[in-house]
A and B are shown apart, each in its own frame.
Chain A
Amino acid sequence: MTDAQLVAQAQNGDLPAFEELVKKYQREIYGLACRMVSDPEEAKDLAQQAFMQAFIHIRSFRQDAQFRTWLFRIAINQCYNFLKNRKKFGDPVNCDEVVLVGEGDSPEEELVTQDERRRVYAALEKLPPKQQAVLTLKVEQGLSYQEISEVLGGTPGAARVNYCQALKTLKKNMKSEEEDEVAMRTSPAVATRVPRG
């Protein structure tokens, strides 16, 4: 059954149809929230909130846009609100909380891979929320610039520029993360005094 049919049924109050949509998109929405807030528990709550918002307002959804992009927009707004509050009330995030899936053959390789990933996560976390969203939507969800502009607002051209800018900033952040790690390895005394993150 297509999204449009499921949405039409859900708009008529068919709960199983909406649950079908939830099952279809729960991984993507959870992944997006995970990337945005770097906290699996919060990401789960945010994903559920996003689905609840979508359910409550499903009748006002017109089939002009894709349900998927509409859902992304809701989820990203939830994440923005969360990040705004976190910034306001200062809840520190430990990026070690993110569950990492081991794919390396040996423990050494896995350790290196995990270090590499941690570096990426830390660098991603330093990006502004909009750039995080653009990167996630483009690289992980594979949305086009047109779809990204529908999710985040603005034009496809602006989305492209934002994506390019995000990549450049991420490159800088990753470099500085690498330099920090090298510095901490070379001077363990500093590493004990200055906690990471």
Chain B
Amino acid sequence: MKWQCALLQRWLPEYPEGDLPAFWKGRLKAHLDRCPACRAEQAALREVVEAIASAPKGDPGPEFWTDFSREMHLKLVRAAQAGQMAPARSVWWGRIPYLVGAPALAALLLWVAVGYLNPERPGLTPPPQVAKSAAPAVTAPPAAIAKQESATPARKLAAAPQAPAELGESQNFVNVARNSGDEAFPEEDLDDLDSTLAGMTTQEREAFLKKLSQHEKDGSCLTRYSAISSA
């Protein structure tokens, strides 16, 4: 059998008066004119359909239908009296999974999108450097903290978010930093202030801290501090 015959024979039962698109009807007509095998197949299929149609089911007769109706009536009455009719199912009942799932999915997607678009959003990804530098301040005893405060005022800034009660002067220090200075202060300097200060000489450190305290109008210091404290 050619591939064309196999393709067209799927439509044969519908040819010529069946539910057939015009395109296939035209193709079938052209094909049947020149293909004897498909013509034979069509004749055979038509014979089969006629055989089914000419072999009707036995009609059981009027008595059968009288009995049938009587039995059905009794069964239906019994079912109705027993209250077997199932209650109507609400249209909304089948839609509950969608009604619950769609908003939940939307909320999840929104949360993920916001998290990706704004990675500095508090709660999603705390800055690792801050966490690292803040850890000793939490575990250290108050006496040690006081010593650290007197020794390195800048350390207070890093320790401030984790130990707000011990802030004292450091809070004032940050306020001073917020209220003074004209130049923008590099943000990365604040991320690890200890390491920045450790690499400086005493003079450099003093100059650096002085410069820091002079940044009155610069908001970056405060912004970073706010991010650190909220984390």
Give residues in A with beta carbon < 8 Å to B: 11, 13, 15, 18-19, 22-23, 26-27, 30-31, 34-35, 40, 44, 47-48, 51-52, 55-60, 62, 98-101, 116-117, 120-121, 124, 135, 139-140, 144-145, 160-161, 163-164, 167-168, 170-171, 174
Contacts and interface: CB of A to CB of B under 8 A. Distances in A.
A55 B5 CA distance: 47
Given A13-B80, A48-B71, A34 B10 contact: no
Interface in B1-55: 9-14, 19, 44-45, 47-49, 51-55
B104 interface: no
Interface of B is mostly: helix
Nearest to A11: B88
Contact of A59 (B11, B56, B59, B86): B86
A174 B48 contact: yes
A167 B48 contact: yes
Given A59-B85, A60-B89, A99-B58, A164 B10 contact: yes
Nearest to A117: B55
Interface string B61-93: 000110011011101110110001111110100
B58 A120 contact: no
B60 interface: yes
B147 interface: no
Contacts of A116: 51, 54-55
Contacts of B13: 163-164, 167
Nearest to A124: B52
Contacts of A58: 85
A178 B84 CA distance: 49
B10 A22 contact: no
Contact of B57 (A26, A31, A51, A171): A31
Q: Please tell me the size bucket of the interface on B.
A: 35 or more
A77 to B, nearest CB: 16
10 contacts: A19-B72, A19-B73, A26-B72, A34-B57, A62-B91, A116-B54, A135-B52, A140-B52, A160-B10, A160-B14
Nearest to A52: B75
A157 to B, nearest CB: 10
Given A15-B76, A18-B76, A139-B52, A40 B60 contact: yes
Given A22-B69, A99-B58, A170-B48, A52 B85 contact: no
When A and B form their complex, which 7 residue pairs have the shortest distance between CB atoms, in order from nearest? A99-B58, A59-B88, A117-B55, A120-B55, A60-B89, A31-B57, A34-B57
Contacts of B71: 48
A57 B79 CA distance: 12
Contacts of B54: 116-117
A13 B51 contact: no
A163 B49 CA distance: 11
A52 B72 CA distance: 8
Contacts of A22: 69, 72, 76
Contact of A52 (B55, B64, B76): B76
B7 to A, nearest CB: 12
A120 B11 CA distance: 23
Given A22-B72, A116-B55, A171-B45, A145 B19 contact: yes
Contacts of B73: 19
B59 to A, nearest CB: 6
Contacts of B60: 30, 40, 99
Contacts of A101: 56, 58-59
B19 A144 contact: yes
Contact of B77 (A15, A35, A48): A15
B79 A55 contact: yes
B44 A164 contact: no
